[in-house]
Structure 1
Amino acid sequence: MRFWFVLQQLALIIIIIASTTDALNNNETDHVSLLAMKSKILDPFGGGVLSSWNESSHFCNWEGVFCGKRHKRVTLIALSSLGLSGTLSPHVGNLTFLRRLWLDNNTFHGEIPNEIGGLYRLKVLVLRRNSFQGRIPASLSRCSNLMHLIIGYNNLVGTIPEEFSSLSMLKTIAVHHNNLTGGIPKCLGNITSLETLSTASNLFGGTIPNNLGKLKNLVFLGLGGNQISGMIPSSLYNLSNLNDLYLSFNDLHGSLPPYFGNMFPHLESLQLEFNNFTGQLPNSIGNLTKVGSLTFSKNEFSGKLTVDFSKLVNLVNFTIQDNNFLGKTFLINFNLSFNDFNFNLSFNDFNGELPLHGSFANSTAVSVYGNDKLCGGIPSLQLPRCPVKKLNRNFFFSSKRIYAIVGASILGILILISSLGFYLGKRKRESTTLELFPKESFVQVSYGELLNATDGFSSSNLIGAGSFGFVYRGVLDQFEDVAIKVFNLLNPGATRSFVAECKALKNIRHRNLVKIVTCCSSIDFQGNEFKALVYKLMMNGNLEKWLHPSQEFNRSEFNLFQRLRVAIDVASALDYLHYQCEPTVIHCDLKPSNILLDQQMVAHVGDFGLARLFHPEMGISHHSSSMGLMGTIGYAAPEYGLGSEMSISGDVYSYGILLLEMLTGKRPTDLMFVDGLNLRNFAGKVLKGNAVEIVMDPVILKSDIVIGQRDNCLIAMVKIGLACSKELPQNRMSMTDVSRELQLIKDVMFK
């Protein structure tokens, strides 16, 4: 028996030694593969970016390299936007634990190596904005866990491999702006997990495959900028989850069916310009209540525009130039009260008198060239004057002349009374404004000064848009660079928002709150009421642009330390509003777009248009906004949806969600949050495993501290975010505690 026991112990020792040797060999494989990759990369900074890729430290500590805790194998390579060039070494295929590869926004060239198909754990491949050539490797079909393939803006040729139909977990195919040819592969219709399909700006021909209608999870379909012909297949109207449909710059034809607008309840952008579509726009377009952009330019649409636009409250872009629309009915039915951003009716056959209000009051927002039968409008549109109707000469001699004279007299009296009321109302409004912003505290500015400061509220100076108005960059002599928030007073809540913001900001001062310069409450040159607030301009825009940058916004970096500083700034501002103001200020709409960053990246909380004032003896002030449900979906506290009063706990909840968004890079409304998954329980995974797994933005991971400290910092901040966003208001942290805890993290982690 003793012999067998000794034999078992020897076998166990051999297994342990073999496992250790295997792990060391595997680690050495990663080490050698990374060095082979480095040998093919040209570093413009003379080795500065990849200078850490040497023998002096373990490869898990190299710049842009991240490893799993258990096996110390490479799981993530993040080398985005570093100006790197060269080629991608085939040795990348030996990094078999690799889950995410980010090389975007560099100048890599050559072919994507076939060996990349050996990365069977790979989930995310991002190679966009490089100069890769050759074909998309069919070997990628062996990456059975692949979820996101993002290789747009390269020089790739060929087509999308048919083998991709086996990638059952694929959510994103983004191959736009390449030189791909052939037809849109039918195999794509078999990848039912797809949420984003972007093949735009290639050389694809043929027709739209009918089986794309099976992609029920699709939220973005971008086929524009190709050579696709034929009609839109009826199966596409099954894609009820679409947010964006981009079919522009093709050779599509046919008409839109009457039910078109009823099939896409979530559509936010519809782009059909530069095709050969015909017929009328269906009235159901008016049911696209979430749409922000409708572009139908350069087609053959015709007939009267009878769509009821009154429900399209999010519309900021409507372009129908170069079609055959006619009539003037749309001038009556079109509700222009909601936005005045981009409205292009040029080169159609519209007729009648152009209104003076809404979008038509801004010559930089509206274009009506090439409609020779239009008249009137504001002078800057340079349309002919409308003909004056001639009065019937027999009027004064008719049997009803006495009634007309009496009617005219009554009308004159009513006009006199209205004028007096307007004058008194104007005096009252001016008095209210002076009460909100006393002359001795704020320099008064006129409508004309603000008009000149923004080049006539030009769209080139537009830097933001919200529910109640638009924000323009401007230059005022006495203040230099400013941000001017112009309220859209045709929106019923805009005036209340203006008053709420004035009341909230007139007596508060804090380094992390926006600085209000002055306000303007007057009338414009057409006699319409005008209200605006003027702030100090924040040179680095809002936090939304840094967390979710567009292609036009090139951020240098926004790492974990910078995000921690912003989190501290916002917490400090809320602590001041909640506990150091008299009366207490409840913000009610805390979200990234309302956090502004100055030139030193110091955060300032802004947009107090929904703010409430709280007096302990009186409760919530009724002089503040009364807009119903406060806040924005995803950030508003859950108790608000049940009718609870606004409270500082609601602000704390919004802050918690904001903090988790800053750490994960995911919005609370992201489409990945379905079937019970939300931002809170997604971020909560950090408490059970690898902190890096919740980070969807590799820029977050760039910092000067060691990986262990970085992960501890992430975990500590996530805990605060979770504590702030608890379901029950009484269980949430106070902003005083949040501010203190975050400052402690900064002092300990970033000495």
Structure 2
Amino acid sequence: MAYHLSLFFHAMLLLLLLLCPATTLAQNHTDHFALLAIKSGITHDPQRVLDSWNTSLHFCLWQGVTCGRRHARVTKLDLGSRGISGSLSPQIGNLSFLRVIYLANNTFKGVIPPQVGGLFRLKALVLGNNSFEGEVPASLSNCTRLKHLVLARNNLFGKLPQQLTSLVNLIRLTIHNNGFTGGIPSFLANLTSLEIISAADNHLGGSIPNALGQLHNLQEVGFSNCKLHGMIPSSLHNLSSLTIVDFSINQIGGDLPKDIGLQLPNLESFIIARNKFTGTIPFSISNCSKLGVVYLSENDFTGKINIDFSNMPNLRLLGLFTNSLGSSQPDDMNFIDSMTNCSNLEQFTFHENQLTGVLPSSVGNLSSKLIYLSFGDNFIYGSLPSGIGNFANLEWLYLTHNWFTGVIPIELGNLRNIRLLYLGYNNFTGKIPDFIGNMSLLFQLSLVGNRLQGQIPQIIGKCKSLSSLDLSENNLIGAIPRELFQISALSIYLDLSDNNLVGPVPQEIGKLKSLTVLDLSQNDLVGAIPSAIGSCTSLEYLYLQANSFQGPIPLTMSALRGIRTLNLSSNNFSGQIPRFLEQLNLSSLDLSFNNFYGEVPMGGIPELGLPKCAMSAARLRKGSQLSRAILVVIPLCSLLVVAMVFSLLFYLRRRRRHTQPTGASLMQPFSRVSYGSILKATNGLSEQNLIGMGSFGVVYKGIIEPYGEMVAIKVLKLGHQGALRSFMAECEALKNIRHRNLVKIITSCSSVDFQGNDFKALIYEYMPNGSLERWLHPCSEQETENEEAPHRLSLSTKSVDCNRCGSCHSLPSSGI
């Protein structure tokens, strides 16, 4: 029906054009010429939208152009989501009958033409997700009929002009993801028709004006990550029309009003995560029956969780993690009993609090839609209820760092969609259950720090998707099953340390070509290092200390060009220290308490800024009765200092491993980090953390908490055509490719931001010393004084020295 109506309209329009007087056609030349000027400013049109903009058709029939029925004048210009690049011609101001300009989701650059302010009939100006820059033109104040002003996701900056106070009909103001400054404008209080304000991810600063409480029609307010401080003014609590409130990632503090749930009964989304709120969570929130999203995480809330959730059937996301909730009373967990009516619950996270008590059996009656369930890092004790296996859709279960006892319930085997299972640092006993082998989608498994016994089950080899496995710090016995090394997906880490494993390491270890960290330390393993280990070319951290290995270091290990840490201490190794060690990318080498002889390799490449290893030239004299020689190499430390602090370093390393897995970028509690964690790590995606830009993404550096490690975070520009395909292709490629010359991907984030928009990011290992380009082409003399320019690499250095080090991975990289 709509198609036939469109044909009828076009036919009638053609008839009108044929019958209308020549004077009317002459008047329409203004629109015609203005559209041609707009076309001339467009430099890239991948969908060939503008092919129809030619003289063979009247401009009212051009694609993206809509004309009025009474007059053949342009009333709507819609070129949204066409992948168009270019600038917007000032002659758009000549389309005097325009009511709607929709150019969102393109790559328009340059300033917003001030001539747009002459379009007094304009009702909607939608320029979101482009690359417009400069300040918002004050001339927009002339568009007094404007109802929708959408400027989000551009490069605009400065203050919003005071003149915009004349836009009294404005309903929607969307300016998030820009660089606006100067605080929240107080003149917004005069725009009494406003229903939506979305201003997240700007640099506004200041406090929230009390005058915003005058906007009695306001339904949605979002000022996430705007550098705000102070408190939420009490006047906002009186806006009973509010449905969405988002003040997350700021420095706002104070207690929430006890009657907030009575004052804001229509709340659907309440997001104040990552602020400085204190006090208890008001019981009155129980009155907000429409709530679907509640994020109170990463604040300083205390006390018992007294909310009655039984009146919240729409609740989907509940985030209470990283606070100080709890009363140290055994009934801290009773609030779960009231959540059985939350049949739409998908995410329930309250890890990193101080909740005490037994996990009630009612947890098994929570929503069958649950995807994320996390209550690690608390003081929960007792056995794990069997009902925990009722969630067929569960993907993430994080119970680590509690006091759970008993065996791992067999009902967990029902979680066929589980991808991340963290049960570490509890007091679970018994054997590793065989049902683990049926979890075909399992991505990460951590059973570290329990009291598990028996052998590692062979069936675990069926977990073909497993990328990280931590069974360390248990009482496991027997040989390492060969089936474990059949899991080609193991790429992040394999940690079997601190057990009672025996026997040799199977030659099948060579099949783990993508593995980054291997820790077999503190066991009773014997035999030689398998020569097949040379096939594990992605290894960066290898810990074999405190076993009974013997024989020489195999020559095949010379292929481990990307290795950084190698610890072979406290074994029965013998033979000469191989010279190839100095060609590796080692930053830490420990050969102590073995039977080696010879010189410690020097290593280092001065031209690349890589320091030489501190050397101990001690040799074992022929006929000596010494049974051991201590040869410890740590960069930049003298042998004397190493000898003094060696035991302390070893102890501290083991302590650190109680809180996070050994090696680089082994994140807990989740391998996939959240949107909020990324914002916090990058200081709100600030320019100070920016290290690079590309066609489909922007790269920031940041420290992911609570792990304390610097990473490079590539945030995808999902509004740009092809960005999503780029994300999927990059994930697929990096899932299957490991190479010493490629910056290693750690994990990913595929989520939504606090406005509900799709958010995707890739997290890489951070390489701190600049880019390869800067090493090949050093900066000019204008280099800042506090930034040391890299050394110039000569042609011989680029070829010979890179070959000598055996790996361009040792070249500094920005991690982009």
TM-score by length of 1: 0.49
Q: Answer 1 or 2: which has greater helix percent.
A: 1
> By percentage of residues, which structure has more strand?
2
Structure with more relative contact order (C-alpha pairs < 8 Å, separation 6 or more)? 1
Using structure 2 for the length normalisation, give the TM-score. 0.45
